[in-house]
Structures are given as C-alpha cells and as structure tokens.
Structure 1
Amino acid sequence: MAELSGAEWAFIVIVGLVLLSAVVCNILVMVVVGVTPKLRNPTNVLICNIAVSDLLLSSVVLPQNLHDISHSDDYHEGDFLCRVVYAGPLMCIMSSIYSMVAISFDRTQAIVLNADKKLSFRTAAIQLAIIWSLSTVFAIPTIYEHREYVLVQNENKTILGCGSYSVSYDYSVINGVFIIMVAYVIPLAILLFNYGRILAFFREKGMFGKGAAERGAVFQTLFKTRMKVVKMLILIAVLFAMSWAPYFTLLLLEKTSGSSDTEHSDGAAHMLKIALSAFSTAYNFGLYIIYNHNFRLGLMLLLGVNAHVRCCRMARVAPGTENGSAIAGTSLNGLPQTSALQMTES
C-alpha cells in the first residue's frame, strides 16, 4: 500500500462520503418511484434506470478507483477488475445519457409534436434493453484493450499494472475517439437539439415574459408546472455534461499520450476526475426534490412525514380545483389538453 499524504486521505474520505450518500439517494429514488402511485409511469422507468447506473458507479466502479489511489505502487486486483475499472464507467455513463436521450424524445413528442400516443411500459422496457445492449457493445473494445500485466519483474518482486496493453497505439486512439463520440458528444448534441426545440416551442406560444403573465392565474400555474419538468431535465443534462467533461478530456489525453495506466491513478488530474464523477452520481436526487412535487410528497410519505404532506397538499389546492376541474379543460394558447398534461407526468 502506497504511503498517502494528509490531503490524499482527506480526498478519499470526502469522496467516500459522497459515494455513500449517492448509494442511499439512488436507492431512495427507486423506492419512492416504486411506492408512489403518481410516479409509477413509463417515463420514470427511465429515470430509475439513471438511478441504477449511478448506483453501480457509486457502489462498485468508483470505490475501486479510490482503492487504486491508495495502491498506486502495485496493482493486485486481478484481470477482471482491471477491465471493470475502465469499461464499467463507460457502460454506466452510456446507460445514463441514453436514458436522458430517450426521455428527451418522449418530451419532444408530447410537447412539440402534440402526439396523443403516450410512452408505454412495454416501449420503456424495450428502450431499456436497447440502452444496455448498446452500452455493452460500445464498451467491448475497451474491455479488450485493458488488462492486467507485469510492469516490473526481478528477483525480489513482481509489480503488476493495469491499463491499455497489447494493443497498438492507433487502436487505443481510435477507440478513445469512438467512445467520446458515442458516450458524450453525439448524445449531448441530441439532447441540445430536442430541448432546444421544446424551448423554441414555448417561446413561439408566448410562454415567456409578459405574454405568460397576461394570460391569468390558471395559465401561469400550468406553465410553471410544465417548465419545472423541462428545467429539471435540462439541468440534469447540463450537470452531466459538466461532471463528465474532465473524464472524457483526460481519456483522450491518456489515449494520445499512451499513459492509460493505474501508474497514474494518484495524480491530481485523475483525482479531479474521480471527484466530479462521484458528484455526478449524487445530484439527481436533489433535483428531483426541488423540481418534482410528486417525488417530494412520495419521499415525505416514505419517511413518515404524513402531517406535513397533508399540509402541503391543502396549500397547493386552489379553491374550486380540488378535483382538477379548473385545469382539466384548459389548454395553453392552442396547446391540446393531452399534450399539456403529459408534460407533468414525469
């Protein structure tokens, strides 16, 4: 075991606590969705898949990265874990961002295209199968590229390493560029396009500025509810892009410099990459609490805060809308009722 400085020990402890909280929070997301009737819909199946991906990262993959910091002088976890360290994050990243892409297409169809056809549980299940299949297939070149190997061998001892080994430089660089494109650049471009269409549609319908304020209380209530959903999804995508940008930047630098190896697992850049990756597994829970009213209520019910939940419900129900009568028949400046209501289901 390598001798660690005080700063390195502090880093391991802090990131370890973040990962522990991420494990608890992502489990809570799945439990709350499972036990709250209003949250049991196909869109939230995809939300739960993001939680599963974050749970795998925070409980399996990133703890192994922390372990490598304290054992940077020798690698002795075996060939299987060596491949997991490099391929595992990619599979989870792709599973998360492909789920976000699927949700963005669903929201675009419901809001911009005014489609009456809703996402079904069967379609969501098919999407999950495709998402994990693509994530696995795209990670296969990385699984092949990385392995455990003998770094130093003499009469006294044998030191093992884990990294890009027994493949050509060209293979390593091409695989790195391929991974960056399919796991980061292309999915983010699709998210930008879809949410850009939604925001442009909102602007076209006069949902921003003075136009929204002049349409009355009912319109503003509906508009704010729908904008919260879209804002939450956009924030999830933006924070994802920011959190994983150093990971993919360093990945490309490692490929081009030929330094993709656990020998460098205790470097400052690598530690920054781990810290932001850990952050990416924990922030979704907070966004759901802030922007999703049904999730908030479900969480409070799960934690036994029944009195406060009832108080919140009474405060949010306006006179004459106890059964949704004031909202059910309302459309937003020509927006069909079905399209408007679909926006709040997730």
Structure 2
Amino acid sequence: MGSHRRLAPSGFDRGAGAAGFAVCVMSATAAALGALPAAAAPQDDTRAEVDRLYAQAEKATEAYNKADERADSLREEVGTAQDEIARQQERINTMRDALGSLAGAQYRSGGLDPSLALLFSDDPADYLDRAAALDRITAHQAGELKDLQIAMRDLAQKREEAAGKLADLERSRKAVAQNKRTVERKLAKARQLLNSLPDAVRAAYDRASRSGRADMPDLGGAVPSSARAAAAVAAARSVLGRPYVWGANGPGGFDCSGLMQWSYAQAGVGLPRTSQAQRYAGHQVPLSQARPGDLIAYRSDASHIAMYMGNGQVIHAPYPGAPVRYDPVGMMPISSVTRV
C-alpha cells in the first residue's frame, strides 16, 4: 500500500502523466502535484496515509460484498432445505395416519394371534390371502416410512449445517461492516489532515482526486470485442459522474465492482459481485491486446477493478468522494485483463 511504483512505459500510459500511485485516489493527484521538495515531506506523509486508507477501505468493501453475496446464497439454501423438510414431514404424517388407521382396524378386529385367527376362520383360504396382502402392505408402508425418516434426518442435518454457515457468515459480515466503519473514521481523520495542508496543495489534490475526467477523452479507434461488451461500455459511459457508494451496484451509485456488474447487466450478462470473482468471469488477455469492455483488475489481490475504454483509458468508480470517471489504465499496478 502507498507505493509509488510505476508500470513500465507502454502505449497504454498515454495521458498518465506521473500516475502510478498504488491506489486510484493518488493516480491523478501525483500528476497534478508533481515533484515536491524535501520540505514537503509531512505533506507526502499525509497523502501516503490517505493512499493507504483508501486501499484498505476498498479491500474492506469487496470483502463485505463477498460475505453479503455468500449470505444471500446460504439464505436461499436454508429456505429450500426447510421447504423440503416441511414437505417430507407432511408425507410422513400422512403415512403415520394411514398406519394408525390400519393398526386401529386390526385392533378392532380382535387382534387375535394369527394362528388362532386361522383356527376360527370360516374360510381359511380367504384369511391367508388377506393376511398375506396385509403383510405386504404393512411392510411396504413401513419401508417407505423408514426411508422418509432417513431423508428427514438428512435434511435436518443439512439445515443445521446451513444455519451454522449462515450464522458464521452473518458474524463475518458484521465484522467487515465494523471494519468499514473503522476505515470511514480513519478517512475522516485523513480529510482533516488534508484540510490542514496549504491551500494551494489542498486545491491541487481536490482537483485531481475529485474532478477526475468526467469529459470524454480521446479513446482512439479501438472497438469492443463483442456486442455485449459494446453495450456494457455504453452503460458505463451513461453513469459518468455518479457517486461512489459503499457496497452499491447502481444505478444511483456504485463501488468499483458494482459498476462493472451493473454495466454488464445492462448488456444481459451476469457478473459476480466482487472484483476478485470478476477477474475470472471470462478469459484473460495481455494488456497489449485490451479492447473496450475488458475488465482491468488492479493490485495482486484484485481489490479494485475498472473497464477498459480504449487508448489507454479506463472508466471506474474510484473511492468515496470521487465520482465515476475516466483515468489512465496505468494508474496503479495491473494484475489481469479479462475479456467477458
């Protein structure tokens, strides 16, 4: 975090200026502020802290999204299991009622020992036929009851396991939410520190970090790899300027992976919720072959993601306070390029 490492120069760095800070908040700031004298070291430290906090916040957001998505999935699994258990229990109750009626009829008939009933029967052959049929029915029903009871126990065990997983995920989600609140407090502190900087430095930071490129850059003549990619590109462009919102996937606001998911949803393509999962939502291509609509994952853990737009530019939801905007593709270390 907070690294000032730059990518090797390439055709994708056009317009990047001094970009290359390890997180998107600092990508445009570096270009705007340029080199500072040694006396400005405290200001560098302040911006480095903002750099670190924004990266931490973004990772926390993606972790929250992942936990929340898994919780939703488990809730569905638990609901399905409970429905199956209820249906199985209803069938078992029906079987028990039938068996109870049969037992009652047997009791009312005297419940005689089979050998005595045969002795006193007026028609021994008829008795034997009925007894054999009764044995077959009883054995069949008892077998079905046993099978249903086994199935019910299995489902109950699955329900218990799913409920346990859900409880674990709820605890995890709450922990991530708490982490987000902690990061937000740190971000507020960072903003206070930034407000203590000289006016000129603070104004340059605000221009770089909050304005971004809401205008249409020169995207060159590259074309999307497919019709769905073209539709996703158009969707992403349509929400330029929308705010970054924690855990949001549009249309009023977005986090980084939420913007990618929403844009491709407008093209009829379902993407996973997190940036880490989105990097595997298609096949990977070299950066030199990137085309509009490709997903650019950043950092080794893919904690940030953007959409390539052409001519070395991406569109993304950067961080709190910065709207959906264009930035150079080389704004921070790239971990993969995925074609959906």
TM range (shorter): under 0.3
**TM-score of the superposed pair, with normalisation by structure 1:** 0.23
- The structure with the largest alpha-carbon Rg is 2
